[in-house]
Structure 1
């Protein structure tokens, strides 16, 4: 018996092995083939990959319940596989389904075997080591017996982990849970299995080998692309339809088409035709046309395609921006196209719902995310499963709160040693499914021909594939990413407010606007999409340029590992370091970035030009750099790169410098089309901030997007000279709004405790019949509950009618008694700020840092004092951004952005200071800060002590 069945961690609450662990065990035990035996096919892509890498034959299979019995199936044909996927899909959606026929069916009990046989199915009984005599007796009675070993666990620790997973899945405790397995279920070597039950039965052994032969004879579809077919052109010549739509887009995009446009269109359409991709482009085009979204942003490598640009899928001209089409599609690339489309965040769900309606629920699903345990995330569940009381859980939360990776706070603590060890044993194990941010697959026919799909958690009317992004793409299903973007809503809402004050779209050119460029060059980009992080703002300030091309470079250059090369780029761009290309290749490829690799395409180009690789070979390096297992696979690519460069005669020092830059792309990098697409939205956002800051900040805070909390944006608004006005029943909308060009009105959305449906009714009544005369008029016209009245009163929405600011007296008269929790409006501005912070989460007049300074004192300086280097400073500040990183030695440190009423202040807590604090700074903290002011490249910073 040369194959076994593997239960992995994808059998939630049961399996104890990850796919690589199960494969390693099967190989160790002497097996040459391994079948998946989980509940569903969620883990199949991982098991398949691990088995092939280990030289084992992977066999697709899974278990399923039917009419109260437990069965399993190994498909023997495409039809059998499709029937199995349909059964799993039906059952996930609450339908009984029908067992697949062109499969080897295995029953886990004689009763189930007999029942399925009576229904007309050919079925084997799966041998059970706990009941060897019964199994042999059943075989003698004519029931065919199959005896592959099921790999559940190997040692006692595996059985313990099984019990723990059962307890966690059932929200029970290890002491109370009944395990599914017994010690007798432990895996043994192949030789041992064949000499014990039931391998001694020759007939059962022959049946088992016959099953292997049938299952392995079928070759599953894997790697051939499955393209969607557009609804609007189901029976059309897709290539001709695409060419017609592209030609129709030319006058919409170009007043005067550039001379090279026709050749570029012809090249792309020819490649799309030969690769049979037309249906994909047409389907995406249909989705955008049908969505009728106010603003979209096609991004990713697809923005390098002029076909995408002319269809309106993307918005940056790839010809004028010199974008590399081969990053998206090429003759050598084996990947399908992958188009990412951003919609406004509050429009995205409606877009997805419309696509599901148009294609039908059996042809479309979103892609799932596979969520895996991390030690910190598992700690609480493990503690609960071991019966730890609530008081202990609170202690645990306090110990791990904020720590990077979450366990340093309890490591070495004897009281938590066992819990931590078990939590760390779960690291990397499958936990649960979630929904991919936007990945959607559309099949030309029923999707269950290709993959099972099931209802998405907490997303009504949407299904998700059992496989994640990698599994779906490896199989060949072509993904369309339909994503939500809050900054598109920011631009949409602000432009809607401004109306005719904004030039028509054809004449609106934010990229050419001097005020916008100046704002970006100053790094004054809080709230500006994609370029508001502290690192990007500082890079803008250091280089002192705000043009589009520079912004595209900067938005790709900011990556965790690139600090050294960022410094080099800055010095060269400012003329402080002469740029002499170390190799002619770098001079031709990287002139605009002064010899520094910036984009993913740069990695590909350098691999081709310096190492002599084909585009396909170089693109493999680009892909590996973005994978989780990069550290494992990258050394082989480095060796090959160095050898290729040596063969091309590239000097060793140039190879060393270039590979050092390549290493900075690990885990996080962008292609130029992606950065250019986002830079376009950045300029639109920055133009609004430069010319209409009140409308800008109102839209940013309302859409709750961006890098910072609302209170930080209000601080920036004040620095831009805006007045912040509180909630008002006659003046506020639900959202934040501009009052003229120099004031912001806080929206009623900020009032904690006010019920939205009641506030909506208030706003509708006000719009219908006009402003309220007084509180009595308001309460007569709108039916508000006491909690909502109290919340609005406490938040200041009725202050215009409160005599002398006495909210209590105002509500006493209207509610017929003392309103609970409603306090008078303080006359002292600091007291008012404290109440506002408590009730609204923001302050209207006094900065939170100034409030704490007034209450506690002991801080003689301000954040603006950091501009003077070499001083030891102490001041109160609000933490508005933070980033925790590890040094090359593995020590933790933190970059922090502080703010008070005078300025923003960038700071760094090096490992010594970080350790002294014993926990990191967190966004929203208002606290005293001590440190030494420093200056680099003209930028002030604080070194926290």
Structure 2
């Protein structure tokens, strides 16, 4: 029986294939296949996954490509190329790269350059060869095939399942050529054909060259072996040739080798170079901390320990490479993040200036980063300002070579909602049905399958409708398949040899190569990935520092800020943390109000606790911290480890230290234990328990204590956070808090710049300015600039933030302003005649000319007269306005809201300012900053949404706002019944209610409503 399939194309071909590699290989194994050949069009995206999956299932993988070969004599020929050996695999990667980087097809004369180690199969029943077949010109066919053969090292002809239609041709060709079986497979089951056709239609709008299979009666499914035998029973030679071809393939991909790059500038060995740099860096760091020479020997012992592990694992060059581009960044005055992830546990990284975290100060462990007992590639992820990241990558490319540095591909996939939408569009399904379905599927993590499990009755209701059932069935077949390629947000590969030695490539961003293999495949091949992350918060910090230096003449080095600044901790205790990295969510602010942070390390604790899972421990943590609950440490030796977190395991490093302290685990073994226990596998948990308890007993402790401590570790293992990461990111939080506390106007000016275009964000930060005593001034023609800037009276709203102006127009307005101050609206109009009329109207409605004493409507109504006045050069005359009564208040309010996103003059709340002061009432903005509790406040009711409860009673969700704040609120049935006649949108009310958090956002449970 035939037990092979040579012409498999996966969804990575973007041609309507429904083939998921793992699912397909598993199915092939069930059907008894012993060999599979993957030949996606031009690209090798799925090759590594296919190779591994085949080996895991005991199937021989054939790695190949489907390519188009062109020549002057003949039309496009579709050919399959398989790697026969490792040389062939190398040439396959080069060929795929060539196709991706050039025109997407191969000239016949180019074939010889790639043919070594490759098997060429010319497909007879597709493309140009099939055209010649239909011309019934056997002589031309043979001439063409002989031409093709001259350029191939190993050569076959391929026929698919329609081979019986070519019997005459087969009899002619079999005399001179070796024919093999190439029946295409692009989906698993015959009934998948419609889904494949729909997928083709979806992809046609996104991919220009799909390599589609022509419409035919044939099914491109993975057939049972008995069906293959039926198709090819009369062609024993083709079966024999196919088996011989498969036998020729002898290819092994090595996943045990590592291909680490070399640092190019060491005149001594890399290890010696690293040793010299770290020792020099250690002395410099200790001098900065006033700890040299008294602490040198302690630090040197840790340094030597880390160096020995690095030498054992051969990562010297890696550290030198990272040190080099970090040094370059700092020399270019580019802010480098303080560290990220477990790399902050490395003293070497600290000494080299790669991180800013002293691991000995915070009890951080190198083994959490590099561990000889858990052989993994190192992972130093670097943070840079998002507007400078590309500059660093360009430096790396130039230093190590264009051919040795590559960005990394990623793949977008069809998810539940997108699959429903796309399939629904092709099937012309009602938008009402689609919207209803996608809304429901979003409840189940955007997964159709999960929705079916979680809501079986609901799902069955849909499946009982034939139209919807058809839609869902097709969408499920598409879910999880790749739909487009993208670029890894941060990852870059640096290799020792040209990148095409290890992965096929394609064009990438920044004129770089991009790998065709994704990150997990590249790492399994032994290649080194470094993440260059562009971080907006670092950009903000850098811009604030530059603004301070420009305006105040002060140079701030965030790396040298004192970690006990009084103003900073006063700001943190007052929870003025809006705009501060990690500390600005409502939930985090609520936690900070309870904690009242006392020192830098508590910032890290706060960040680590406020995550799903660990949040369960917050009440206990707060009670213990406030001495409302006693802490049982189980054993006195646990006190030094757990006292900083009040007996609760917050960090992974605490688990490691407990295992080290009580069970004499090395820190490397302890990290392995931590990882194993966190997976909650029952058999692993029991195995590790026995090992842990036996080690504890050997240390002289009781079995009971050993089990208690192990249970404690298991309880918190899922929740433990990487302390190295938490501490490193706390530095970014602290830097921002320091700048906000000490230079609030500059800090908020930059934050507001980044909110341009967002009315919600602008309101939020203007409210923050108000709470910090900083006035935000309205836009004015002689005072505003392109962006927010600081004046003595406060921050000035910029031209660029006015809706409809934008940066280009804002710069043109500034040019007028810079010539000389604008003396009148006529003066501005005359000098700004090159500006579009609608821009001038926008500026009028935005009140930028109010200082000239002419109301908006008068300016608008006189525009044509002003144009004529200026056009006829009545320079010696003064312009006489025809006066108009100003627009009504609601019109002015609407225009101000539309153009500025905030209100400076016309918010409805302004009418109640005197009443609020007289009755000593709070505004909505005032209560947002306060701890959760019961409050009364004045606000505008902007939206009412009434719903029915399960008991068929009406309740309402209200949107409340003032000039700077918008908060959602709930009016439950009993109170809704009482107040419904009172509720009118765009009216002002005095609301009483309780504030609470819902999904980390503040909401009000209304208890009383009074109309003002």
TM-score higher than 0.5: yes
Distance in 2, Cα, partners of 1:336 & 1:89: 26
1:172 Cα deviation after fit: 10
Find the counterpart in structure 2 of residue 731 from structure 1: 783
Find the counterpart in structure 2 of residue 87 from structure 1: 95
Find the counterpart in structure 2 of residue 328 from structure 1: 369
Per-residue Cα deviation, 1:726-777 (whole angstroms, up to 9, x for no partner): 233432222222223x62222222122224333334435645x454444555
Greater shift, 438-447 or 266-275, is seen at 266-275
1:344 Cα deviation after fit: 1.1
Do structure 1's residue 43 and structure 2's residue 93 form an aligned pair? no
Note the 1:228-627 alignment, pairs <5 A. 228-230=261-263, 232-233=265-266, 237-250=269-282, 252-255=284-287, 256-257=291-292, 258-259=295-296, 260-291=298-329, 292-297=332-337, 298-388=339-429, 405=445, 412=461, 414=465, 416-456=468-508, 459=509, 461-499=511-549, 500=552, 502=554, 504-505=556-557, 508-582=560-634, 587=639, 589-602=641-654, 619=671
Q: Kindly tell me: are residues 646 and 284 of structure 1, through their superposed partners in 2, closer, same or farther at Cα, counting changes over 3 Å?
A: closer
Find the counterpart in structure 2 of residue 841 from structure 1: 901
SS in 2 for 1:212: helix
TM-score (norm 1): 0.82
SS in 2 for 1:530: coil
Distance in 2, Cα, partners of 1:761 & 1:576: 63
Distance in 2, Cα, partners of 1:896 & 1:218: 66
Greater shift, 437-446 or 146-155, is seen at 146-155
1:126 Cα deviation after fit: 3.0
Distance in 2, Cα, partners of 1:210 & 1:733: 76
Match of 1:161 among 161, 171, 195: 195
Q: Kindly tell me: are residues 729 and 270 of structure 1, through their superposed partners in 2, closer, same or farther at Cα, counting changes over 3 Å?
A: farther
Distance in 1, Cα, partners of 2:370 & 2:240: 50
Do structure 1's residue 696 and structure 2's residue 747 form an aligned pair? yes
SS in 2 for 1:718: helix
Distance in 1, Cα, partners of 2:488 & 2:960: 34
Greater shift, 899-908 or 279-288, is seen at 899-908
Distance in 1, Cα, partners of 2:540 & 2:936: 40
Contact 2:540 2:750 in 1 (8 A): yes
Find the counterpart in structure 2 of residue 188 from structure 1: 223
Find the counterpart in structure 2 of residue 887 from structure 1: none
Per-residue Cα deviation, 1:275-303 (whole angstroms, up to 9, x for no partner): 22222222223323334243110322222
Distance in 2, Cα, partners of 1:76 & 1:774: 82
SS in 1 for 2:493: strand
Note the 1:767-916 alignment, pairs <5 A. 767=818, 769-778=819-828, 783-801=834-852, 803-806=854-857, 807-809=859-861, 811-815=863-867, 832-844=892-904, 862=924, 869=933, 900=962
Contact 1:600 1:672 in 2 (8 A): yes
RMSD of Structure 2 on Structure 1 (CA)? 4.5
How many residues align? The count is: 888
SS in 2 for 1:559: coil
SS in 2 for 1:369: strand
SS in 1 for 2:390: helix
1:165 Cα deviation after fit: 0.9
Distance in 1, Cα, partners of 2:970 & 2:525: 46
Distance in 2, Cα, partners of 1:929 & 1:624: 56
Contact 1:532 1:707 in 2 (8 A): no
Contact 1:518 1:546 in 2 (8 A): no
Distance in 2, Cα, partners of 1:926 & 1:590: 54
Distance in 1, Cα, partners of 2:263 & 2:14: 37
Contact 2:373 2:669 in 1 (8 A): no
Gaps of at least 5 residues in structure 1 are: 880-894, 914-924
Q: Kindly tell me: are residues 759 and 646 of structure 1, through their superposed partners in 2, closer, same or farther at Cα, counting changes over 3 Å?
A: same
SS in 2 for 1:37: strand
1:441 Cα deviation after fit: 0.8
SS in 1 for 2:162: helix
Distance in 2, Cα, partners of 1:524 & 1:137: 85
Match of 1:933 among 994, 999, 1007: 994
Find the counterpart in structure 1 of residue 5 from structure 2: 4
1:16 Cα deviation after fit: 0.9
Gaps of at least 5 residues in structure 2 are: 71-75, 130-143, 696-702, 871-882, 915-920, 944-956, 976-985, 1007-1012
Find the counterpart in structure 2 of residue 921 from structure 1: none
Greater shift, 570-579 or 60-69, is seen at 60-69
**Highest Rg: 1 or 2?**
2
Contact 2:504 2:516 in 1 (8 A): yes
1:811 Cα deviation after fit: 4.3
SS in 2 for 1:511: coil
1:362 Cα deviation after fit: 2.4
Find the counterpart in structure 1 of residue 137 from structure 2: none
Distance in 2, Cα, partners of 1:11 & 1:21: 16
Find the counterpart in structure 1 of residue 794 from structure 2: 743
SS in 2 for 1:284: helix
Greater shift, 66-75 or 197-206, is seen at 197-206
Distance in 2, Cα, partners of 1:827 & 1:737: 31
SS in 2 for 1:556: helix
Distance in 1, Cα, partners of 2:713 & 2:759: 32
Find the counterpart in structure 1 of residue 135 from structure 2: none
